[in-house]
Structures are given as structure tokens and as C-alpha cells.
Amino acid sequence: MIDKVDLVMWTKNGAKTLPAVLKQIGQVIPREFVNRRLIVDDQSTDNTREIAEAFGWEVIFNEGTGISDGANTALKNVESKYFVSFEQDLLLAGDWWAKIPPLLEKSQVAAASGMRFASEPRGVKKLQQYVAKKYRGEANLASWLRKRQDAAFTLGSTLDNTIYKTDAIRKIRGFPEVKVNAGVDTTLAYQLRQAGYVWVVDYGVQSVHLRGGLMHELQHQRWYGTQSYETWRQIEKETHQKPPITKFGIMYRFVISPFTGLFVAFKTREPTIAYIHPLIKLYYLKGFLESGKFL
């Protein structure tokens, strides 16, 4: 039974989304269950800190830079048996508090999250929901996805709406020290599995990831691509496990993406996915090539 939790968030120039995000958290998580509310700020140049304080959050400064250092700075200040992490661009699902914390009642569960889907455009949201349903929302993994067990294992394991057992995270020496921001959550999922823990993701709890349209999403995919190799290297270094995708896998998914896009567009009755999916794979591949690690 959850008694008290600490809430933590790492921010950098989040003034645009922070008021709505903090307001929603306050409406979803009852105040009587909250101990500390901590914002770890990473040298914001806007009024992020003032907004956080206006909503009653304590502001501390990132002891380093980036998500990995921000997460560990937050962890050092956590006092409760459980804590919840958020990112600055997520509107928490209204049923999150009722459904996610109870998942920690099982002893082997160290972390639990809901899903989050893009606010716009519609095609990106529908694509994300379709993939997540096949990986997370059905009783058994779809037959055509069974060779992607590791992808299914990491999907939804994000830091933006997750509750943790504090002792479990400290037992594995905190959040992974990853040089790139994109790999912290994926590496953490591997570390928890290696330590015998489980990270549960509930597809039915769906938060909103605030996005700025298709080009915003495509540039984000390109950014993921530039950081993938370092993420893989960190996973192998920390856990000696194989990463969820290979260089061949990236190229293969790009090559078949026009066909996959048409298939998913038909299944979801969302025609824009026919070109959105290939574009996403193209931008991811572009980012990976820019990283210089493809050959």
C-alpha cells in the first residue's frame, strides 16, 4: 500500500509546457500522498524555476548536465519509500494514480509506468497507439513481432510517468550514467532486468506527450538516431546484454517501411500513416548515419 511518494522532474527551458504539466500532476496525484516535489533544473534561461516555485515545487540544481545527472541528483534528495519521475512535456493520464502505483505491490516489480502518446499530429498518435497495442496492449505478443522480444521489453519504459521503489533503484547504484539523454530509460530497463526486477507498463493508462507537429516528431526521431549507438554501447557495458536493435535492423525496417506504413494505415484507417511511418524510419536512419557509427 502506497503511503507517501516524492515527485521529481528534471527541467531545461520548460516554461512553454510546465504550467499545464504541473497543474495536471496536482489534479491527478492527491496532495495527501505527496511528501516532496522536486524540480531539478539544468541551467534554464527562461522562467522555468519561477513557474515551478509558483506551483509549490522545490527547485534544486542539476549537479551535472542532462537527464542522467538530473535523475541522480533527484534520487539523492528522495526521502520516501517510493518516488515518481516526470518529464516537462507530459500531461499525466487522469487514471494514472489509481492504476499505476498498485502495480508495485508485487515484490519483484521495481518500476511501473503507463503509456504516452503524441498530442499531434493524428497520424503519429495513431501509429504509436497501434504499435503499443501490439507490444503492450494484447494478451500475447503479435506473432509477427515475436522476434522483437527486446523491443517489446523496452517499449513504454520511459522516465516521464514512472513510479519506483526507491531502495531498488539505489540497489542498482542509481540511474545509469549515460552520456546521451536518449538512453537513460532504456539502459535502466536492462539494468533492472539484470538485477532480477520487473518494470511493468500498463497500455491502458495513456498520458499525452506534448508535441509540435510532424516535423517536431521527425526531428526527434533523427535525434534518437544520433544517440542510438551510445545507448547500445552503454547497455553492453553495464549489463553485457545485446541492445534491442542492430545496424541491420535499422536498415531493414527502413527498407520495408513503405509496406509497413501501408499495412498499418489500412489496419488503423488512418491514411497519413502510409507516409508518416516511412518518414519516421528515414529520419531515424538519417540521424544514425550522422552519428558516424553505421560502418
Q: Where are the domains of the chain?
A: 5-213
Say whether 178 sits in a helix, a strand or coil: coil
CATH number of 5-213: 3.90.550.10
Give CA 283 to chain center in angstroms: 19
pLDDT score of 74 = 97
Give the type of residue at 293. K
Residue range 207-249, pLDDT digits in tens: 999 998 999 999 999 998 998 888 888 888 878 877 767 788 8
pLDDT score of 173 = 94
**Residue/partner pairs of 66-69 with CB below 8 Å, 24 or more apart:** 66/42, 66/179, 66/180, 66/181, 67/10, 67/159, 67/178, 67/181, 67/184, 68/175, 68/176, 68/177, 68/178, 68/179, 68/181, 68/184
pLDDT score of 151 = 59
Contacts of 263 (CB under 8 A, 6+ apart): none
pLDDT score of 230 = 84
Inter-residue contact 284 to 182 (CB < 8 Å): no
As a whole number of angstroms, the distance between CA 60 and CA 156 comes to 28
Q: Which residues of the chain have pLDDT under 50?
A: none
Inter-residue contact 47 to 15 (CB < 8 Å): yes
Residue range 1-22, pLDDT digits in tens: 688 999 999 999 999 999 999 9
Q: Model's pTM, two decimal places?
A: 0.91
